[in-house]
Amino acid sequence: MISLVDLTAQYHSIKNEIDAAVSSTLESGHFILGPQVAKFEESVASYLGVKHAIGLASGTDALVIALRALNIGEGDEVIIPAYTFFATAGTVMSVGAKPVIVDVDPQSYQIDVSKIEAAITSKTKAIIPVHLYGHSSEMNPILEIARKHDLKIIEDNAQGFGAEYLGKKTGSFGDIGCLSFFPTKNLGAYGDGGAVVTNDPALAERMRMLRTHGWKKKYYSEEVGYNSRLDALQAAILQTKLPYLDAWNEKRRELSKRYNEHLSPLGIVTPVERNWAKHVYHLYIIRVEKRDELQAFLRQKGVASEVYYPIPPHLAEPCRKFGYKEGNFPHAEKAAKETLALPLYPELTLEQQDEVIAAVKEFVSK
């Protein structure tokens, strides 16, 4: 079986370094925050070109803490894309705000910039562009809209670590950028993990408080916060992996280009890369009308694939109370019915990729 992602292959490629980092952390006796986390936070901030990075327990927590730090809550509205992982909508709802949904560009799957202004009301407080699948959103016009309407920008960069917009790293444009280090991400931990990044020292201090029970001083809570801290063990693992990230992302780009060259002539809709974007292919997403049939065929051929995401947020049960219904966001709904992720990870061999390509070709020629 060719896996969608093979995490053990990556581990074995740098096993000695990972094992040494884990052993060193265990020997140190520092497991919550501490020097390993501080070092990794500095490395993330440096990599993205921002002033502050705060390690958290997950990418979902990053979104929640970003919203809280910007005082977004009951009665507020936040604009999000119609095609994304549910956490983008769910975190907005978890702080008491309403996700106001905007359809996406049907080719890049990024929020359709031309539709944002029409969704703004007197209750709108922020926009959350999602750099879905590793392709950046079109940030300059989004930033212009935010400035014009005095809105905050929270970048959901969970899938875009290392991606660029006009030569600048995604996650570094907004008031706050949110990262995920879930194991399958381009920079993945061996468990859950996340971070928030910002250039604003006041926001950074607030988010550090929120991740630890609202403390500035231990045990002295100044507001209701969370227990959301990046483990030292995960920080040590991520610190070890970070120097390899750009090379891994380049390998993803090379393999994706090779997929495109073989699959596009078959009539398969392959990913686009806008001229202002540097795509890091967190996932390699194709589109076919007979998506479910293709997935079943690939399974028979020993090729894993996955649907990201079968239900757009506006059609998920928790969003029903807002009155969204089928037909509201046709591009997102069509993508949810037709998109499929094929195996992609830096250690995927050309022989394995050829097997995937051959299986897709066989399906198309049936």
Residue type present at position 61: D
| Average confidence score pLDDT of the chain | 97
Report the number of secondary-structure helices (H) and strands (E) in the chain. Answer: 12, 14
- Alpha carbons 285 and 210: distance in angstroms, whole number: 36
- Helical packing angle, 59-69 and 201-211, nearest 10°: 120
Band of the pLDDT at 139, cuts 50, 70, 90? very high
User: Residue 101: which H helix or E strand, with range?
Assistant: strand 98-102
The domain made up of 7-243 has a fold known as: Aspartate Aminotransferase; domain 2 (3.40.640)
Which amino acid is present at 292?
D
- Cα separation, 340 vs 211, whole angstroms: 35
Answer yes or no: are the C-beta atoms of 346 and 280 closer than 8 Å. no
Share of the chain above pLDDT 70, in %: 100
pLDDT number for residue 267: 93
**Averaged pLDDT for residues 49-62:** 98
Average pLDDT over residues 258-282: 97
**Taking residues 299-324, what's their average pLDDT?**
97
Each residue's pLDDT tens digit, 65-78: 999 999 999 999 99
Q: Distance of alpha carbon 229 from its chain centroid, rounded?
A: 19
Residue 293 structure tokens: 């049939």
Q: What does the pLDDT average to over 132-148?
A: 98
Distance CA 136, CA 213 (A): 33
Q: Which of 105, 167, 148, 97 is nearest to 130 (CA)?
A: 105
State the pLDDT at residue 268: 96
Which pLDDT value is given to residue 16? 98
- Segment 331-350 mean pLDDT: 98
Alpha helices in 131-227 (DSSP H): 139-149, 201-211
Q: How many CB atoms sit inside 10 A of residue 354's CB?
A: 12
So where are the chain's domains? 7-243, 245-364
pLDDT, residue 24, reads: 97
CA torsion angle for 232, 237, 238, 244 (degrees, to 10)?
Answer: 160
Cα dist from 342 to 38, 146, 290, whole Å: 36, 35, 15
| CA dist., res. 244 & res. 346, Å (int) | 11
pLDDT band at 326 (very low <50, low <70, confident <90, very high): very high
Whether residue 331 has pLDDT greater than 90: yes
What's residue 366's pLDDT? Answer: 79
* From the candidate CATH numbers 3.40.50.1260, 3.20.20.390, 3.90.1150.10, 2.60.120.260, the one assigned to the domain spanning 245-364: 3.90.1150.10
Q: Give long-range contacts, CB 8 A cutoff, 24+ apart: 248-252.
A: 248/10, 248/186, 248/346, 249/162, 249/186, 249/280, 249/281, 251/346, 252/134, 252/186, 252/280, 252/281, 252/282, 252/284, 252/344, 252/345, 252/346
Per-residue model confidence as pLDDT tens digits over 8-46: 999 999 999 999 999 999 999 999 999 999 999 999 999
Q: 19 CB contacts (<8 Å, ≥6 apart)?
A: none
pLDDT in tens, 100-112: 999 999 999 999 9
Q: Where does residue 150 fall: left (phi above 0), alpha (psi -120 to 50 degrees), or beta otherwise?
A: left
Residues 319, 88: Cα–Cα separation, whole Å: 12
pLDDT at position 322 is 96
Could you tell me the pTM of the whole model? 0.97
pLDDT range class, residue 161, cuts 50, 70, 90: very high
Q: Residue 65 corresponds to which tokens in the numbers above?
A: 């803490």
Rounded CA gap, 231 and 254, in Å? 33
* Average pLDDT score over residue span 128-144: 98
Predicted confidence band of residue 47 (pLDDT cuts 50, 70, 90): very high
CB-neighbour burial class of residue 15 (10 A; exposed 0-12, middle 13-18, buried 19+): exposed
Q: Could you tell me which of 164, 181, 209 has the C-alpha nearest to residue 49?
A: 164
